[in-house]
A and B are shown apart, each in its own frame.
Chain A
Amino acid sequence: EDQVTQSPEALRLQEGESSSLNCSYTVSGLRGLFWYRQDPGKGPEFLFTLYSAGEEKEKERLKATLTKKESFLHITAPKPEDSATYLCAVQEGAQKLVFGQGTRLTINP
């Protein structure tokens, strides 16, 4: 059975303090790894999708990378508006996404 583990569960940073979130997975055949952002009281918002080891995607202060066993979401010089829960998901089979439990990120001004 596919497993997705995110770490840390919660992370508190100062504005401008760069860091990384981790998503480790076990899957027999990776069909896609997805990163979402979720704000309180809202639905997940799509950020990135990665399909093969070595692939990288960037969007503003965020950069997602993928290896054969894990993915990292790097946050460079974060701002308070980057505070959210970040979700990682792995595509299992043709349609199903298996989600990790998320990392709750807080950026203090």
Chain B
Amino acid sequence: DAGITQSPRHKVTETGTPVTLRCHQTENHRYMYWYRQDPGHGLRLIHYSYGVKDTDKGEVSDGYSVSRSKTEDFLLTLESATSSQTSVYFCAISESGWVGAKNIQYFGAGTRLSVL
């Protein structure tokens, strides 16, 4: 999985509790992304980062926040989890965000989150 580690791999939590998912990379890539994957919706971008402390919103960012204090780590936080956030979450990395071979996104193995 291109030097990408997501943790935890599985998590069950209760509605209203905070949850943090971690993505760790060993490739020293500048860009990191969080996606969620749901049946009928495909992969949708939540947030992305283009450098340490530089982040921006994606298509489905409501209810999520992110932080990146080091190049290698990108955290996704659900401040107060809801059942609609039950999903599989994927982290991805790329060297660059611009056109060219370096904009290829490589994905981690995913975190399966269930909010009861």
Residues of A near any B CB (own CB < 8 A): 31-32, 34, 36, 41-46, 49, 51, 87, 89, 91, 94-97, 99-102
Contacts and interface: CB of A to CB of B under 8 A. Distances in A.
Nearest to B6: A43
Contacts of A95: 31, 33, 48, 50, 94, 97, 103
Nearest to B1: A43
A41 B105 CA distance: 18
B60 to A, nearest CB: 12
A31 to B, nearest CB: 5
Contacts of B48: 95-96
Contact of B110 (A42, A91, A96): A42
A3 B109 CA distance: 26
11 contacts: A32-B99, A36-B107, A43-B1, A44-B90, A45-B107, A46-B105, A49-B101, A97-B105, A99-B44, A100-B42, A101-B41
Nearest to B4: A43
Contacts of B106: 46
Contacts of A43: 1, 90, 107-110
A51 B104 CA distance: 12
Interface residues of B, number: 27
Interface of B: 1, 31, 33, 40-45, 48, 50, 58-59, 90, 94, 97-99, 101, 103-110
Contact of B45 (A31, A36, A96, A102): A96
A5 to B, nearest CB: 10
Contacts of A100: 42
Contacts of B31: 95
Contact of A44 (B40, B43, B101): B43
Nearest to A102: B42
Contacts of B58: 96
A107 B108 CA distance: 26
